[in-house]
Amino acid sequence: MNRPLQVTVLGATGSIGLSTLDVIARHPDRYAVFALTGFSRLAELRALCLVHRPRFAVAADEAQARALQQQLREDGLTTQVMSGEGGLSEVAAHPETDVVMAAIVGAAGLKPTLAAVQSGKRVLLANKEALVMSGALFMRALRDSGAVLLPIDSEHNAIFQCLPSAYSQGLGSVGVRRILLTASGGPFREFAPERLIDVTPEQACAHPNWSMGRKISVDSASMMNKGLELIEACWLFDAHPNQVEVVIHPQSVIHSMVDYVDGSVLAQLGNPDMRTPIAHALAWPERIESGVSALDLLQIGRLDFQAPDDSRFPCLQLARQSAENGGTAPAMLNAANEVAVEAFLNRRIRFTEIASIIDDVLNREAPVAVGCLEDVLAADRCARERAGQWLGRNGR
């Protein structure tokens, strides 16, 4: 029997990472945990190491790595602990790593995810920001290395399942008219726009369908998450922004659809559980059991759809504009959003000011063409600085 595939989980202590480990544990003959990263969540990372016994673990810095190394030695584990961005990239590109789950949230996941792609791994992409920020560079590295990229966001995984393999030659060549990217609408789908000024972080993080981290939950509430997914879809499926339409679907049962020129619309349905796309990508082109219960359409009873309201969700339109502008615009959009969301979670700004900060940053800095990774990182730094200046000007 072939050896189990060695899986590195970047962002193991987050919701995607934990769901990945749950699926892996169901198939010990097929998969083994090679490396786990948890950065500053040392207690959670230590607990995961005790269960999965990886060869490597990665913590945030050298001090935390030394502390975790000592604890794991006392636990009787031989796991080697590394640190920092260098450690993340090293385990992602390690010669013995077969599969990399890229589940670090935000811009912090860019370099290790790119390292995995450049090393020709099977990359399970949950870190949409890596592709949003460096789309052209990312896709070029993918082509040059021969890596296999499989989307983990439920929407992109659904689109992937609904497209024929030949779509890589262009959506038009396989008769695709448009991609329908579904969105739950988040907790504020029914809120009047004027009510949004007073919503709290707790309200924004109370997603009606999905269990996610705080940052992604806020992005879902503002629909910036869907905007980032729109940009990601353009790169993943070689689509123009006007070929991607966002549709609010409150039940989160249809994860996305593909509309063909002959009138056919193919959809992927399932319970809102991230173990489904994770299992699909881990085993592709095969299918394995994920632990997700069967979908009961009779119990669901109805499926609703509506168009997003731009006055309620201005972040979605800002993301679409960035996709159309190209160059460094998506990287600036992402960076400004990260600063704004952190400020909102820390109660420094109102929910509605997230879009205000992003809009201000995008209007102050014209996008430029991306020639190398430093161009992306420079745009990211500049946007964060501009967002910080907005906070300073407005006494936040």
| List of E strands, 68-196 | 80-83, 99-102, 122-125, 148-151, 176-183
Q: How many CA atoms lie within 13 A of 80 on its CB side?
A: 8
| Measured distance between the N- and C-terminal CA atoms of the chain, rounded to whole angstroms | 60
Tell me the C-alpha to C-alpha distance, in Å, between residue 71 and each of 9, 62, 168, 222: 21, 14, 47, 41
CA distance 14 to 169: 35
79 marked among binding-site residues: no
325 appears as a binding residue in the annotation: no
**Does 153 show up as a binding residue in the annotation?**
yes
- Find out whether 356 is annotated in a ligand binding site: no
Interior CA angle at 92 toward 21 and 33, to 5°? Answer: 30
229 labelled binding-site residue? yes
Q: Nearest Cα to 128, choosing from 99, 148, 157?
A: 157
Q: Is 385 annotated as a binding residue?
A: no
Q: Measure the CA–CA gap between 255 and 104, rounded to whole angstroms.
A: 22
Determine if residue 74 is labeled as part of a ligand binding site: no
Check whether 155 is labelled as a binding-site residue.
yes
Short-list 3, 40, 46, 5, CA closest to 24: 5
Backbone angles phi, psi at 254, to 5 degrees: -85, 120
Structure tokens at 66: 């030394």
Q: How far apart are CA 313 and CA 331, in angstroms?
A: 20
Q: Is 16 assigned a ligand-binding role in the annotation?
A: yes
Longest dimension (CA), the chain: 64
Q: Residue 285: is the preceding peptide bond cis (ω within 30°)?
A: yes
The answer to whether 121 is annotated as binding is no
What's the burial of 27, exposed, middle or buried (CB within 10 Å: 0-12/13-18/19+)? middle
Q: Tell how far CA 108 is from the center of its chain.
A: 12
Residue 44 assigned ligand-binding role: no
Q: Which residues, in sequence order, are CB contacts of 187 under 8 Å at separation 6+?
A: 203, 204, 206, 207, 208, 221
Asked whether residue 346 is marked as a ligand-binding residue, the answer is no
CA gap 330, 327 in Å, rounded: 7
For 314, counting Cβ atoms within 10 Å of its Cβ (0-12 exposed, 13-18 middle, 19+ buried), the class is buried
- Annotation-wise, does 179 bind a ligand? no
What is the number of other CB atoms lying within 10 angstroms of the CB of residue 235?
20
Is 220 one of the annotated binding-site residues? yes
- Is 211 annotated to bind a ligand? Reply is no
Instruction: Write out the binding residues for 1-deoxy-D-xylulose 5-phosphate.
Output: 128, 154-155, 184, 207, 220, 225-226, 229
Q: Which residues are documented as binding site?
A: 13-16, 127-129, 153-155, 184, 207, 213, 220, 225-226, 229
Binding site feature residues for NADPH: 13-16, 127, 129, 213
Binding residues for Mn(2+): 153, 155, 229
